[in-house]
Amino acid sequence: MRVIISAAGTGGHINPGIAIANKIKEHEPDSEIVFFGTERGLENDLVPRAGYKLKTIEAYGIQPKPSFTNLKNIIKTMNSRKVVKKFIDEFKPDVVIGTGGYICGPVFAAANSKKIPTFLHESNAYPGRAVKMFAKKAKKVFVGFEAAKKNLSGIENVILTGTPTKIKKIDISSERKEKILKEYKLTSDKPIVLVFGGSQGAQRINEAVVDIVINSMNKNYQLIWATGPKQYDIIKTRLEDSNIDIENIPNSKIIPYIYNMEELINICDLSVCRSGAMTITEIAIVEKPAIFIPLPSVGANRQEDNARVLEKLGAARVILNQDLNSDILNKYVEEMVADKNNLVEMGKKAKAIAMENVEEKIYEEIKKSLDNK
C-alpha cells in the first residue's frame, strides 16, 4: 500500500498517524508511507524517530481575528496544494489519511482534486474545522468518542473506533520500576505524580507546579514533571533565581520531554495534565486517575468536553485553566494521593471508555473500502 498521512503540530495529531502507519506496516511490510507536515511542529522529531519519511509544506491554522498575517498564511496554505498535487502525481498513493488539524487543508484539497481515496480520524469529542470541512468527501471518518458522531450529524460513514495510540497498559516489574525511579532520583516510598502539558508543554500548568517545587509543597508525593522543550530553560532559570538546582530537587524530577511515556504513565499513581483526546485515551487505556486542566479555546471547548467525559465517570477531577494555581493544584493532589485505594478505583472507572484493537479496526476499514472501490 502507498500511503500519505497528514499529521502536524502536536503529538495529539502526530502520534495517531504514527500508530496507524505502524499497523499498516505490520500487515503490509512493503508499504511506502510518507507523512506531510510543516517545518514548525513536533513531526520533525517524532516522524523520523518513528522511521518514516516527512515532506514539509507551508500550512497554517485560520485565526479568529482578521489580520494581514492571517491573510498571508491562508494564501500560503492554499498555494501548498500545488506542492501536494505534484507529489501525488509522482508518488501515486493508494490512500490519503488525515488525523485532523490545519495540515489537512492543502493535503486533502489536493487529494480530492486527484480523486485519491481519503480517510479521516477525529480524536476529540468535538470535531475540528478540518475534519468537518473534508468529512463529506472522505470514504470514512473514524472517531475517538461517541459524542463526536453526534457532532458530525448528516455525514455518512462515521465509525467509532477509539483513538490510535502507541501507549498500552503493561505490567512493569517492581525491579524495573525501582530502576526507573532510581534513574530519576526518586523512590517507591511515596506516590508518583506525573505532570505533563502535552507535547509542547503548558505554561499555566508549569507556573503552578514550579511554585509547588519552590515552596517544597510536595513533601507527601513525588513529581515527574515534563515542562515541554521550549519551557525547560525558563523553568530552570526560575528555579535558579530561588537557588534551586533543577538536577537536584528532593521529591522531584524535571525533564523537557517524555520519550518513555508508556513506562512512566504505567508506573505513576496520578497524572496532572491537559485533556487532549490523545491524553484522555492513554489515561483510559492504562487505567489511571487524573487531574485535568483543559486548554481553553476561543471556539469550542474541546478539551473541557473531553475531560468532562472522565469526570462524569468518577475517573478524574477537573480544574479550569483560569482557576489553576499552586494551592488549588496541591490541595487536589494531596487529597487524591492520600487514598491509594480510591486512586485505583478511579483508574478502573477510566477503563470504561478505553477501546481495544483501535488501529486494527482502522486498518480493516481502510482495506475494506479500497477493496470495494
Q: Is residue 30 part of a domain?
A: yes
Q: Is residue 169 part of a domain?
A: no
pLDDT for 373 beyond 80: no
DSSP string of 39-101? SSSTHHHHHHHTT-EEEE----PPPSS--HHHHHHHHHHHHHHHHHHHHHHHH--SEEEE-SS
**124 and 238, same structural domain?**
no
Q: pLDDT confidence of 298, banded at 50, 70, 90?
A: very low
How many percent of the chain have pLDDT more than 90? Answer: 71
pLDDT for 126 beyond 60: yes
What local confidence, expressed as pLDDT, does residue 201 receive?
61
CA distance 230 to 212: 20
**241 and 129, same structural domain?**
no
Of 153 and 141, more confident: 141
Residues 161, 20 contacting (CB under 8 angstroms): no
Q: Is residue 363 part of a domain?
A: yes
Residues 284, 351 contacting (CB under 8 angstroms): yes
Q: pLDDT confidence of 174, banded at 50, 70, 90?
A: very high
**185 and 69, same structural domain?**
no
Residues 365, 140 contacting (CB under 8 angstroms): yes
**84 and 149, same structural domain?**
yes
**128 and 195, same structural domain?**
no
Q: Is residue 331 part of a domain?
A: yes
**180 and 255, same structural domain?**
yes
Q: Where are the beta strands (DSSP E) in 202-319?
A: 222-226, 252-255, 270-273, 290-292, 316-318
Q: Is residue 167 part of a domain?
A: no
**194 and 143, same structural domain?**
no
What local confidence, expressed as pLDDT, does residue 199 receive?
59
Q: What is the pTM of this model?
A: 0.78
Domain coverage including residue 114: 2-162+356-371
Contacts of 306 (CB under 8 A, 6+ apart): 124, 125, 145, 275, 276, 277, 280, 292, 294
Q: Is residue 134 part of a domain?
A: yes
Distance set, CA 228 to CA 19, 43, 184, 202, 225 (Å)? 22, 15, 17, 7, 9
Q: pLDDT confidence of 64, banded at 50, 70, 90?
A: low
User: What tens digit of pLDDT does each residue of 177-208 get?
Assistant: 999 999 999 999 999 999 998 656 689 999 99
**179 and 151, same structural domain?**
no
**212 and 69, same structural domain?**
no
**187 and 149, same structural domain?**
no
**149 and 193, same structural domain?**
no
**107 and 40, same structural domain?**
yes
User: What tens digit of pLDDT does each residue of 87-100 get?
Assistant: 999 999 999 999 98
Highest mean pLDDT among 64-78, 156-170, 357-371: 357-371
- Residue pointed to by grid coordinates 534551586: 244
CATH number for the domain spanning 337: value is 3.40.50.2000
Locate 286 and state its grid cell: 492504562
Residues 330, 217 contacting (CB under 8 angstroms): yes
Q: Is residue 168 part of a domain?
A: no
Q: Number of structural domains, the chain?
A: 2
Which strand (E) or helix (H) includes residue 195? strand 192-196
Q: pLDDT confidence of 300, banded at 50, 70, 90?
A: low
Bridge partners (DSSP) listed for residue 195: 225, 272
Q: Is residue 349 part of a domain?
A: yes
